[in-house]
């Protein structure tokens, strides 16, 4: 592969790779946000389920610190039950993280879960059941921290939750009027488990788009080169041509086959540049892709015209072209191979025989030689 192609492929790979990365990241972030919202909703239902199982009975009295009752959130709260008076300091920073905004429900949480503390495995089983209903099958775990009246902390985790870490944390909730219960929920998910289908699809598009960009650039670059070549040829055609006398060349012979080589084709008066006299009645206009026979002009394919001119320009080499040279000139993008080259030679052979039966092309030892006898055969 040529250096320019390597640079082009590298640039396309970097650009499409960056696009692939950002699309995957956006998809992953969107999926994680959706997952967390579903996990939070399922956990709130699990806590309500747990509260209903407690079947609370008795009377409950809640008291606020009157010095702070005018504030949106009091700084202390206590209540009395058959076990006595319970006092908690309220952290205003945890206000928006409480699982319920209703003061009465928060009070019920404090009473219910104060008498019978939440058990991580039991609550997690309810949560997991509700997660599966929501279409989430990842392994789940809970970490519960209970702040006692003496400010001591009791910590309990779901059984076998060693995989829990900050990257798997989906929510942090506080339960109770004094936010005395902290619950952290975890789901065992990875980027691959979240968007593996999307990643495979994006990878396929990455390869297709990268290849498409590369081929498009090659085609556009090839068309630009053709336009530039056409402009140069048109400029050259405008240059006046002086009379050049005809020069004869020697005839080369090989053993055991006798090969007669054409005499050098020269430009003549009133014939445009890059035009060649093959016979007195045959003129080849290489710059116009035309051959004139007995005053009648006929168009020929651009590739056939180029190949014929390549043979004519090899005068000093006996009008011999090597196969690799033909491939390089006819297919500069390295798309040529043996079958295509043989087809191109075959088209030129048919053209030459059509205009003069003495014209031929022979193949020997990986080379091709144009043969035109000095005098046409007698009919």
Domain of residue 371: give its range.
239-379
Residue finishing a domain among 192, 213, 231: 192
Please indicate, yes or no, whether residues 177 and 247 belong to a single structural domain of this protein.
no
Domain count, the chain: 2
Is residue 70 pLDDT above 50, yes or no? no
Q: What is the pLDDT of residues 36-60, one digit of tens each?
A: 999 999 999 999 998 888 776 555 5
| Domain co-membership, 246 together with 342 | yes
Read off the pLDDT of residues 82-128 as tens digits, 9 standing for 90 and up: 666 666 666 667 777 888 888 788 878 888 887 788 999 999 999 99
What's the pLDDT tens digit per position in 304-315?
Answer: 999 999 988 887
Query: Which domain CATH number covers 259?
Result: 1.10.10.10
Q: What is the 3-state secondary structure (H, E, C) of the chain?
A: CCHHHHHHHHHHHHHHHHHHHHHHHHHHHHHHHHHHHHHHHHHHHHHHHHHHHHCCCCCCEEEECHHHCCCCCCCEEEEEECCEEEEEECCHHHHHHECCCCHHHHHHHHHHHHHCCCCHHHHHHHHHHHHHHCCCCCCEEEEEEEECCCCCEEEEECCCCCCCCHHHEEEEEEECCCCCEEEEEEECCCHHHHHHHHHHHHHHHHHHHHHHHHHHHHHHHHHHHHHHHHHHHHHHHCCCCCCCCCCCCCCCCCCCCCCCCCCCCCCCCCCCCCEEEEECCEEEECCCCEEEECCEEEECCHHHHHHHHHHHCCHHHCCEEEHHHHHHHHCCCCCCCHHHHHHHHHHHHHHHHHHCCCEEEEEECCEEEEEECCCCCCC
Does residue 70 form part of some domain? Answer: yes
The verdict on residue 63 lying in a domain is yes
Are 300 and 185 within one domain? no
Q: What pLDDT shows up at residue 376?
A: 56
* pLDDT tens digits, 196-213: 888 888 888 888 887 888
With 0.85 as the threshold, say if the pTM is over it.
Answer: no
Average pLDDT for residues 260-284, to the nearest whole number? 64
Do 42 and 180 belong to one domain?
yes
């Amino acid at each position: 592969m040529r250096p320019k192609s390597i640079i082009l492929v590298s640039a396309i790979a970097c650009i499409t790779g960056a696009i692939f990365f950002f699309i995957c990241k956006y998809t992953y972030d969107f999926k994680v946000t959706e997952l967390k919202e579903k996990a939070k909703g399922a956990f709130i239902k699990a806590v309500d389920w747990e509260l209903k199982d407690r079947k609370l009975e008795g009377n409950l009295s809640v008291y606020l610190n009157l010095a702070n009752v005018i504030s949106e959130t009091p700084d202390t709260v206590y209540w009395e039950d058959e076990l006595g008076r319970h006092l908690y300091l309220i952290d205003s920073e945890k206000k928006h993280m409480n699982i319920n905004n209703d003061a009465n429900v928060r009070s019920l949480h404090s009473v219910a879960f104060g008498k019978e503390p939440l058990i991580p495995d039991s609550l997690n089983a309810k949560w997991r059941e509700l997660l599966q209903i929501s279409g989430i099958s990842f392994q789940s775990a809970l970490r519960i921290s209970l702040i006692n009246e003496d400010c001591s902390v009791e910590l309990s985790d779901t059984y076998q939750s060693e995989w829990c870490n900050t990257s798997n944390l989906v929510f942090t909730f506080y339960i109770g009027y004094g936010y005395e219960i902290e619950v952290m929920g975890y789901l065992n998910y990875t980027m691959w488990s979240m968007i593996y289908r999307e990643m495979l699809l994006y990878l396929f598009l990455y390869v297709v788009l990268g290849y498409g960009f590369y081929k498009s650039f090659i085609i556009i670059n090839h068309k630009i080169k053709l336009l530039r070549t056409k402009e140069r040829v048109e400029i050259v055609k405008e240059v006046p041509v002086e009379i050049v006398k005809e020069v004869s060349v020697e005839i080369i012979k090989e053993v055991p086959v006798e090969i007669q080589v054409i005499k050098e084709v020269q430009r003549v008066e009133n014939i445009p540049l890059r035009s060649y006299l093959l016979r007195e009645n045959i003129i080849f206009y290489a710059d116009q892709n035309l051959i004139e026979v007995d005053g009648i002009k006929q168009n020929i394919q651009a590739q056939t015209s180029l190949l014929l001119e390549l043979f004519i320009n090899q005068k000093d080499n006996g009008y011999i072209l090597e196969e690799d040279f033909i491939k390089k000139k006819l297919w500069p993008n390295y798309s040529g191979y043996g079958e295509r080259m043989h087809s191109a030679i075959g088209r030129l052979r048919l053209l030459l025989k059509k205009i003069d039966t003495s014209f031929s092309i022979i193949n020997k030892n990986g080379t091709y030689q144009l043969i035109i006898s000095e005098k046409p055969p007698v009919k």
